[in-house]
Amino acid sequence: MNKKIALITGINGQDGSYLAEFLIGKNYEVHGTLKRNSVAENQTARLDDIFNQINLHYADLTDLSSLISVIQKVNPDEIYNLAAQSHVRISFDQPIYTANVTGLGTLNLLEAVKLIKPSIKIYQASSSEMFGNSIDKDGYQRETTPMNPVSPYGCAKVFSYNIARNYRNSYGMHISNGILFNHESPRRGTNFVTNKVCKEVVKIHLGLSNELKLGNLEATRDWGHAKDYVEAMWMILQQDTSDDYVCSTGISHSVQDLCEYTFSKFGLDYKEYVKVDEKFLRPEELHNLKGDSSKLKSITGWTPKYTFESMLDEMLEYWINFYTKNK
């Protein structure tokens, strides 16, 4: 039996690296795209353990010809479009770049697939940031919740979500949107609040730092683990018909909760170390996110294995080991 072939855009990111490992475990032939970068040695750090089991290609979502070239070369059965400018706060500083990569980049990919091999199954990485401050009366966001984004990143993701639906309906293509809520891991960039907090807490515990500057402590998010969420991506694409799915834990915590838990693991009071710095506040704030993934669970059988606490424990352990090794 021939192996299925998967192409992952943004394979060197948090989600891409976990997804690549997962698909290798499912006996896929795994290909991934990288954006050409002069600092090559930093690009594939998350892929070190599987580097010899994957095939890497240079391509850029903003360059249609590069996408056409790699799709023709790889001839994939499935494409997971995970590449994006994915940092919400940075999207306020670089809105045009964010729109070009995160929004129009998706259109380039869909057009390339339509031209070359429209039968490819496509997973489009959508985001809970698309909802903005829209929330249903029961306090949850779900597939039917109105989208009212409050950041350039959220706006770009809404475009991607809608153009994916448009190509699905117009051309009969198998394109599914996974509306993923926040998902973290030790591989998360340290400019994202969860891993930033975990890293700095460990530094404070070890006497390497004495202060942690953050933005809005009252914002609540539905945080899960990236390992659980990449499994959901795969399960979504195994369905006979394409559709849109919220993927979340259904439990939300505030940034303050995050600080309280991580500092308390080392017997510390976060109030003595955390300072609010206006430069980390967004021009327009997204206050509360909590997803209802009932549809995903009922159709695919997906269920998260990590809790908020076990996810943070793993992230703290990573930084303890990191600083212990690099003393």
Which residues are tagged catalytic?
Answer: 127, 129, 153
- Locate 68 and state its tokens: 């056409």
CA 169 to CA 240: how far, in whole Å?
15
Q: Classify residue 209 as exposed, middle or buried by CB count within 10 Å of its CB (0-12, 13-18, 19+).
A: middle
CB 315 within 8 A of CB 186: yes
What is the DSSP code (8-state) at residue 250?
Answer: S
Q: How many Cβ atoms sit within 10 Å of the Cβ of residue 43?
A: 15
- Locate 9 and state its tokens: 């855009």
Q: What is the DSSP secondary-structure string of 227-244?
A: HHHHHHHHHHHTSSS--E
Closest CA to 193 of 96, 82, 282, 99: 282
DSSP reduced 3-state for 91: helix
- Locate 114 and state its tokens: 């339509």
- Locate 17 and state its tokens: 């690296």
Q: How many Cβ atoms sit within 10 Å of the Cβ of residue 21?
A: 18
Q: Classify residue 311 as exposed, middle or buried by CB count within 10 Å of its CB (0-12, 13-18, 19+).
A: buried
CA 227 to CA 14: how far, in whole Å?
9
Amino acid at the residue 120: I
263 bridge partner residues: none
Closest CA to 106 of 181, 57, 168: 168
